[in-house]
Structure 1
């Protein structure tokens, strides 16, 4: 029986939306890694801070965790049953990244509760590595190679992997998923 699930994928692939829907269907906690990692004013947590925030959530019997953060693999995949990889094409991810950023620019709402981290035009389009759009462009291919290698790694043989290559496949998975 699947109890602990990690949803991974390139930035803007829809990890959080998918994870929330899956957690709701399973009636288990949803854990958003970005919300644990980012502090106010776009300050990053140190590894020690991040791990300390993440560990208590992972002690639960069941959860759906969304996020990559390779530095946490040793923690989050220790007892994970299923990794769902949202592996959409580059064009789809770019479209989602740009459209999501524009929506957030217009709404001006904080990305994570308890922070004042909001999208700005400067940060979104002119800030180089801190731009989520540039980050998606830069990491899309790297993430594909990384997750293909991880799926083939004997160290992770205890994990069931599901690779969803389109939003349609993701919707079908959610409709058909049984606990």
Structure 2
């Protein structure tokens, strides 16, 4: 099975994808790991897309987490399921703020080998704030995924929209039971 977990930054995509991958005994692929270089530099799309395609082709099944809408032609080419973590605005905002505080406090490296860490200044007082990004993109992400769910070119894909933590828990249990 090939699954892409999508949703606004801070919605819980990576956590859900990890848990789903574990429940299904599939590899978990985090797009941010493939995308980010040290010092918050982004890989050029050509390199990013090549590495993404290589990772996806390396296994007959996987759980991929991440949006990177421009990569849809690669990641949705042979996908079976898109799981959309679509929690409400206030829930998502609460989660992204909580996560930013924890990460800034712990100074944990976000992606191995990059040295990239969140700081209080970056998270709360910067134009590059993940919190600000989440606020700005929440509505447009919802519109994009609602549109994709009804787009004829994606009719081969099963979409699951999760609107709460309890729905997510039930979904993981049902997928694990069918594995």
| Fold conserved between structures, TM > 0.5 | yes
Q: In the alignment, which residue of structure 1 is the partner of 2:9?
A: 11
Number of equivalent positions: 176
- TM (norm. structure 2) is 0.97
Displacement after TM superposition at 1:157 (Å): 0.4
Could you tell me which of 51, 54, 66 is aligned with 1:53? 51
Q: In the alignment, which residue of structure 1 is the partner of 2:66?
A: 67
Runs of 4+ aligned residues of structure 1 deviating over 3 Å after TM superposition are: none
Q: Give the RMSD, CA atoms, in angstroms.
A: 0.7
1:172 and 2:170 equivalent? Answer: yes
How do 1:15-164 and structure 2 match up within 5 A?
15-59=13-57, 60-128=59-127, 130-164=128-162
Counterpart secondary structure, 1:119:
coil
Structure 2 portions without partners, runs of 5+: none
Q: Is the 8 A contact 2:81 2:160 kept in 1?
A: yes
d(CA) in 1 for partners of 2:142, 2:5: 14
Counterpart secondary structure, 1:65:
strand
Displacement after TM superposition at 1:25 (Å): 1.0
d(CA) in 2 for partners of 1:13, 1:167: 10
Q: Is the 8 A contact 2:30 2:66 kept in 1?
A: yes
